[in-house]
Amino acid sequence: MPLSDHTLPLLTEGYAWLPERRRTHGSTVVTRLMGHRATAVHGPDAARFFYDENHIRRHTALPEPIKSTLFGHGAVHTLDAAAHRVRKAMFTSLMTDDGIARLDDHVAAAWDKATAAWNGPRPVTLFDEVGRILTHAACRWAGVPLDDADVPATARDLLALVDGFASLGPRHWRARAARIRLENRLARLIHDTRTGAAPAAPPGTPLAAVATHRDADGHPLDDRLAAVELLNLIRPTVAVTWYVTFAAHALHRHPHHRAALRAGDEARTHAFAQETRRFYPFAPFVGGKAVTDLTWEDHRIPEGSLVLLDIYGHNHDPRLWPDPHTFDPGRFLDRPTGEFDLIPQGGGDPRTGHRCPGEAITLTLLRTLTTRLARLDHDLPDQDLTISLRRIPTRPASGYLLANARPAA
């Protein structure tokens, strides 16, 4: 019996699409997306199966619309085996404690400067403001010159890359246009840095790393591909905007957590950040292609066919997370979290596998800004704080409006 294509239901149902199919068909779902056979798998064992390079490859698996918006053509996300490991080593070399601390200092300083202007009755949109804060800080950390006057437009473009990756409408086309602008600008910067037409890249910065990197074949990245990878260091940092806005939403819904965060309780702050990443949806699933003919839970997976790992369903699986639709940071206080338990940014070892190497940055910045949010009293104007599971990536509809911000008493 031919499989029905579920591209349209995915686009209309959003995050609920795959969990709904699992309720009907079981933990493994065989379907078609964009005309191609797809097998969706679920659970910690499935995550181990998916992130094993002997089973699944990412090369050629990413659809063109995602490469042209979120990641860029030729990016590390599209590589496997030695090519992936060598390219990824460039990313992980920048994720040292000192490097992350420098970025965190830039973010904290930018936040403190920005929030001083939020003290009036005119509402500001937290989502937009955090996007600008993280853009300013990420570019300083990366060694990318950015005038204050250019921050709002650059932030809009960086946020657009993320906002349009799962849409085929206007958001998608805005993301494509934003990528062209950003890649062109950064490619010119890298070219000028390499040729001496611009000052040398500051040592230890992402700009210096991509400008001097050599791939597994011994060749440097060309200017455009170096720009793609520089964006892949800046763009995920700015994407933390989604989680910071979710954290504000969580603090509004569950204000009893503010006291521990205000007091600087490190364990509870970390737990709050982890629960924010678990509870609030971002990526619905990730995909790859079968390296060879495989079998999973008695389902045949033909070589070259698409395999999906259900991220949203995994992070809301009651077998892993009791009462999964309740926001409860306490679940992370005494529980060790395995490599394949919490997977909003991938599973496995971030140094060698396809787990996001910037996950440590996400957690650090989220802890820093969640603490600052808890220490910032503010008024909440009338607004729509609903979070639609049909929109990918989702966020509070209003972007979280606040007014009359002041230090907590």
**Is 139 known to sit in a ligand binding site?**
no
> In which element (H, E) is residue 286 found?
strand 285-290
Strand partners, 301: 294
**Rounded distance between C-alpha atoms, residue 252 and residue 266, angstroms:** 20
Report the alpha-carbon distance of residue 212 to residue 219 in Å, rounded. 10
The angle subtended at Cα 65 by Cα 61 and Cα 69, nearest 5°, is 110
How many residues are present in the chain? 409
| Residue 207: Cβ-neighbour burial (10 angstroms; 0-12, 13-18, 19+) | buried
Please name which of 161, 192, 155, 194 lies closest in space to residue 179, comparing C-alpha atoms: 161
Strands 36-41 and 306-310: parallel
CA 261 to chain centroid, in Å, comes to: 23
Question: With contact defined as beta carbons under 8 Å apart, do 63 and 34 qualify?
Answer: yes
Pick the closest to residue 186 from 168, 165, 161 (CA basis).
Answer: 161
Paired tokens of 104: 């965190």
Side by side, the strands of the sheet bearing 36-41 are 29-33, 36-41, 306-310, 285-290, 56-57
Give per-residue burial for 377-392: e unless 16+ CB within 10 Å, then b. ebeeeeeeeebeeebb
Tokens linked to 386:
């609903």
The two three-digit tokens of residue 58, written as one number: 């990412």
Token pair listed for 308: 């999906």
Binding-site annotation, residues for heme: 356
Binding-site annotation, residues: 356
